[in-house]
Amino acid sequence: MTTKPMTIGIISLCIVLAAAQPAQARPISYPGGWTFMTMNDGEQNMLHLNYTFTPSFSLGYNAEYWRDEKFQVHSLQANNLLKRWNNPGSQANVYLQSGLGAAYSDKVPHDSDWRPAAYVGIAADWENRRFYTAYENRYLWADDIHDSFMQKARIGVAPYIGDYGDLHTWIILQVSHTPEAEEEITFTPTLRLFKGDHLAEAGISSSGDVTFNWTIRF
Amino acid sequence: MTKFYHSRLSILTLALLVCLCSPALANHTANLPEKIQAGHINQTGTLIEIGVNGLVCDFCARTLEKIFMKRSDIAGIDVSLDESRILISLQDGKDIEDSALRKLVTDAGYNVSSIKRTAGHS
């Protein structure tokens, strides 16, 4: 009799963990490649699956669930690499990320309502093999369900430098600014593990929320 | 007497260092990795070393590996983040022009800094 609730719990946990904030890892792969990303933090759970058409463009499905406000957004998301700087030993990128879809809410005053939704944001990063820094923002509009702006900045350092195929470790500090949230500014020390096609991150924010991100390319 | 021992010690240390470094130097000269990450090294085919700018992480390395290994004229590839280069081993009798190599690297999202060829390195 306890199997069913346990199964539901495991499935729920998987759903919660299956979420994505695309800018945390490069949202464009190689032509013909797929990328799946998840991100979960104190505010939301997101997932993103995209297909890369050209070295500077990928298109995919994005789903997100905002826990406090109890609404979902389902959208088609376009990722455009606006500019890349390839230098000896370092790389920098600027991306435009935009999405169009629908938002769903059953929180009062909404009654299983669907509304149009759209968002746009810029993501930028620079890294060499020792240091990493990134910034991203996003404006999300979902009619009378939600309307917000958020931004994040990150800085990271690799305690050792590994070659291709080794396990790469990064220690990252993330600062998030979410005006809509109870705690407007949060700090999240994060540990990133990176090997081959997999990138995983885990951290605990200054408000006590657990962050978990995972990216896989195939 | 002490000076004599110091001199001998220095000479022995130097000899030991030369012995230890020789295999590394030989390996560097041969330009072959100890193991290759995808495919195999074709001992009788051309070996091409391509310096790549922007090669900083495993995602970059994997991208180049997959792009190059799609081609039937490539026997194997080795990517080194440490040296910012990829090493390509071609099938017998095959060659890829520099312009085609540059296009492959550019299409993967990176830039070429140098191209060096070694024909039949067995």
Residue A213, domain CATH: 2.40.160.40
Does the structure show a pLDDT above 70 at B122? no
In chain A, whose CA is at the least distance from the CA of B114?
A: A88
List, for residues A29-59, the tens digit of each pLDDT value.
989 999 999 999 988 899 999 999 999 999 9
Structural domain that includes position A71: 3-217
Q: How far apart are CA A157 and CA A35, in angstroms?
A: 24
Q: How far apart are CA B88 and CA B48, in angstroms?
A: 5
The verdict on a CB contact (< 8 Å) between B57 and A194 is yes
Q: Would you say the C-alpha torsion B34, B40, B45, B46 has a positive or negative sign?
A: negative
Partner-chain residue, chosen from B57, B108, B113, that has the shortest CB–CB distance to A30 = B108
- In this prediction, residue A78 carries a pLDDT of 97
The verdict on a CB contact (< 8 Å) between A128 and B66 is no
Q: At what angle do helices B98-107 and B58-69 cross, to 10 degrees?
A: 130
Q: Would you say the C-alpha torsion A63, A21, A206, A179 has a positive or negative sign?
A: negative
Burial class (CB in 10 A: 0-12, 13-18, 19+), A16: middle
Q: Kindly indicate the confidence band of residue A1, based on its pLDDT and cuts at 50, 70 and 90.
A: very low
The side-by-side arrangement of strands in the sheet containing B74-80 is B38-39, B74-80, B85-90, B47-53, B111-118
Does the structure show a pLDDT above 50 at A2? no
Phi, psi of A19 (to 5 degrees): -150, 155
A3 touches chain B (CB under 8 A): no
DSSP-derived letter for residue A196 is T
Q: Kindly indicate the confidence band of residue B30, based on its pLDDT and cuts at 50, 70 and 90.
A: very low
Q: How far apart are CA A196 and CA A38, in angstroms?
A: 17
Domain count, chain A: 1
Q: How far apart are CA A213 and CA A22, in angstroms?
A: 10
Q: Are strands B74-80 and B38-39 parallel, antiparallel or unpaired?
A: antiparallel
C-alpha distance from B96 to closest chain A C-alpha (Å):
20
